[in-house]
Structure 1
Amino acid sequence: MNDLGAGFGYLVKGQRWVAGHGRWFGFGLLPGLITLVVYAGALVGLAYGADDFVAWATPFADDWSSPWLGLLRTTLTALVFLFGLFLAVVTFTAVTLLVGQPFYDSLSEEVERSEGGEVHESGLPLWRELWISARDSVRILLRVAFFGIILFACGFIPVVGQTVVPAIGVCVSGFFLAEELTGVALQRRGLVLKKRLGLLRRRRLLVLGFGVPLALSFLVPFVAVFLMPGAVAGATLLARDLVEPGEGNTPGTGTGDTAVAAKEWTAPGS
């Protein structure tokens, strides 16, 4: 329980940090605003098209009598929209971080600088960092999709599907949101995705304390945009706690797992 509270504390500290550094708050808003416009359009389209999709996917129910036809398709339409919303919540951070990689790297470095101690740098060109971030985001999204499909199927279980499944879904969203956000600071330390996930699993309650409240707040689109700069700041502070002394690369160098991972994106002979 202490770890849950401490995780939430990092979220609060991050919001306080950007509140006290107004220039960085405005700087960090831009990627979220761009992503929000795109996602809002996609969710509006899903809201209008979900019932048509469900009708197309359930032709076997065309001859069902009332109220069963309406009950089935209304339930499935709601589940399709909720599944889309679930994916939007989880992928919003990944897409925003990809769009705003230079913005959030600078913000994260400034947070570490203000906290004192070493400021880590990957030492990689921007294009390599973007490639690594994009690849890791795809891997995370595949994991999220796997959990999402399972949770979607479990949603049909009476009672459990309306109580336990949504709670698990929020925890899954919170965990992977925390991974994406801490990845800004951890990638600079030379930690590849596998090691980052290991760090987060090792302190699961701490991570959930940070990620779950954020996932719930991200259900409100405008809130997500305004919390994003502080979420990056808080995740940077959290990352400093997660990493044991000696883990990752040396500040200002490109050594460590990130540099190794970057080689995978270098064409043969280059």
Structure 2
Amino acid sequence: MKTDTSSQQVVLITGASSGIGKSIAEYLIQKDYMVFGTSRNPSKNTGISFPLVALDVTKKETIASAVQEVLDKTGKIDFLINNAGVGITGPIEETPDEEIKNAFETNYFGPINLIKEVLPSMRRNGGGMIINITSIAGYMGLPYRGIYSATKGALELTTEAFRMELKDFNIQMTNVAPGDFATNIAAGRYHAPVLEDSPYKEPYGNTLKLMNEHVDAGKDPQLMAKAVYKVMTTPKPNAHYKVGELLQKASIALKRILPDKVYEKMLLKHYKL
């Protein structure tokens, strides 16, 4: 049954059953948007105040069916927020190929395939906006987070190209890159085990502990929700936005101006390597 959405804008948010995605969804409902979230298993999610549609970003057939379900109900998608993602840590040498591929399928190919799926309807409706939730980690190669950095960095750069390709269709696209936020991402990510006989045992073990501490002490996801809403209400948004601690945002600027080796030494010191 189609819902009357003439007075409301429709938002589709992937990975909205918890964390940043859920915070964004709940905030936008307060701002009178019609919000649809996605989850791999909607029936298992309780306490959600907005409809969830079934979607696994690594499976193209579920992407197509989820987008069609929202279109059948509303006739349009005004905003797509690509939030679903997976964390991955470990020495690159010891990270299994299948986990590397899964990270790219989830963090890169999933968002790209979702964008491809919604673009035709956005063109028919005369415009729209796509917001890709990336990461400040995507601006630099971080030790023991190299694969994660690569997936998010790839999406950042692809967005730059996509924006120019979409300029004639009144479709805006942008990235919002969070730093560390207090979510359950650390519990859900893949991390290569700290092996007793590994040459990386001590430095990786220490770095993994430090990363978990950063997430636990992270900012309130509501800050991301407010930042995303501000972007959504900007007529012509920039290509990149960063949300997080001042030091995390400053690290991006420092990377642009410092010599490579100096910046590398700064990261090594930060991670106590």
Same-fold call, TM cutoff 0.5: no
Between structures 1 and 2, the one with greater strand share: 2
The structure showing larger relative contact order (alpha-carbon pairs under 8 Å, at least 6 residues apart) is: 1
Q: Which has the larger radius of gyration?
A: 1
TM-score normalised by length of structure 2: 0.31
Q: TM-score, normalised by structure 1?
A: 0.32
